[in-house]
């Protein structure tokens, strides 16, 4: 699920603190640096986000379909209109009205949820190049928020966008957090390679190309732009 990967990103960032301290004080050996570097280069948060996003879609659609097919749940639908808030007393009239909702309404809800989710992710990442298009994702999120903002109050129900309005905004920053996690892993691996070069040569390289192929088989790129990372020896 999405929360698993977001916690994984957070754990990685916490773990990098002692790595950074060891690099700053030149405490790591060549063998340790090589092992750390190889471990860090295994991270591929761009590809790894596909499964969790699919799980979020499946879970949300599953909830909608379960409510559609289980007539016993119909009176409880009124409670969903306070999703994320403290439970409040529902008049019997509201429970009765929600029990009359036709199944087709739920299916349109599922359709719109999936359509808007696809639009939210459209052209936002490239698995082959391992890049996340930040500006495009921002554009997609603005377009989605504008669409959902137009469906206020009861309009969300009439236009079959209630579940999308409740569930989709929580996903809008997920891809950027994956990008930040990948950048952290790539830069940490690069830092290990730079320290290995320093141990072998007594100084840092003039440019990153000097690391290839002895200290790094391939240089990482900027996940958000696809461009080479910037490096300057001070």
DSSP 121-155: HTT-EETTTTEE-HHHHHHHHHHHHHHHHTS-THH
Per-residue confidence at 54, pLDDT binned at 50, 70, 90? very high
Average pLDDT, the chain: 86
Q: Is the pLDDT of residue 84 over 70?
A: no
Of 141, 117, 123, nearest to 53 by C-alpha is 117
Q: Smallest Cα–Cα separation from 3: which of 49, 62, 39, 46? A: 49
**199 close to 27: Cβ distance less than 8 angstroms:** no
Q: Which helix (H) or strand (E) holds 207?
A: none
CA 190 from centre of chain: 23
The strand pairing partners of 125, in sequence order, are 132
Mean pLDDT for the stretch of residues 175-185: 91
- Average pLDDT (77-85) is 53
List the structure tokens of 200: 């072998």
> How large is the average pLDDT for residues 15-27?
96
Q: Work out the pLDDT band at 167, boundaries 50, 70, 90.
A: confident
Q: What is the predicted pLDDT for the residue at 75?
A: 47
Residue 93: predicted pLDDT? 56
pLDDT of 123 above 50: yes
* Per-residue pLDDT at 90: 53
Q: What is the spatial distance between Cα 114 and Cα 67, in angstroms, rounded to a whole number?
A: 17
Which tokens belong to 160? 């079959």
pLDDT of residue 35: 97
User: Does residue 79 carry a pLDDT above 60?
Assistant: no
Q: Minimal CA–CA distance to 52: which of 232, 177, 210?
A: 177
Which range scores top for mean pLDDT: 67-76, 80-89, 154-163? 154-163
Whether the CB-CB separation of 145 and 169 falls below 8 Å is answered with yes
Residue 172's pLDDT band (cuts 50, 70, 90): confident
- Check pLDDT > 70 for residue 171: yes
Highest mean pLDDT among 21-35, 56-70, 162-176: 21-35
Tokens encoding 141: 């999120």
């Amino acid at each position: 699920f999405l929360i698993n990967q977001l916690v994984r990103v957070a754990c990685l960032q916490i773990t990098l603190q002692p790595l950074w301290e060891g690099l700053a004080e030149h405490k790591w050996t060549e063998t340790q640096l090589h092992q750390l570097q190889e471990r860090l280069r295994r991270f591929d948060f761009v590809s790894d986000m596909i499964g969790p996003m699919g799980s979020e879609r499946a879970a949300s659609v599953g909830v909608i379909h379960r409510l559609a097919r289980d007539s016993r749940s119909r009176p409880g639908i009124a409670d969903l209109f306070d999703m994320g808030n403290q439970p409040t007393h529902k008049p019997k009239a509201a429970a009765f009205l929600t029990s009359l909702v036709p199944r087709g309404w739920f299916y349109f809800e599922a359709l719109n949820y999936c359509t808007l989710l696809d639009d939210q992710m459209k052209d936002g990442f490239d698995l082959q190049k391992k890049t996340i298009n930040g500006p495009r994702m921002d554009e997609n999120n603005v377009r989605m928020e504008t669409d959902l903002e137009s469906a206020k109050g009861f309009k969300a129900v009439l236009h079959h966008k209630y579940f999308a309005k409740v569930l989709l905004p929580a996903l809008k920053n997920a891809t950027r957090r994956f990008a930040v996690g990948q950048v952290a892993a790539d830069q940490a691996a690069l830092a290990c390679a730079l320290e290995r070069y320093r141990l072998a040569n007594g100084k840092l390289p003039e440019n990153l190309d000097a690391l290839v192929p002895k200290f790094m088989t391939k240089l990482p790129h900027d996940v958000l732009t696809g461009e080479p990372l910037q490096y300057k020896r001070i």
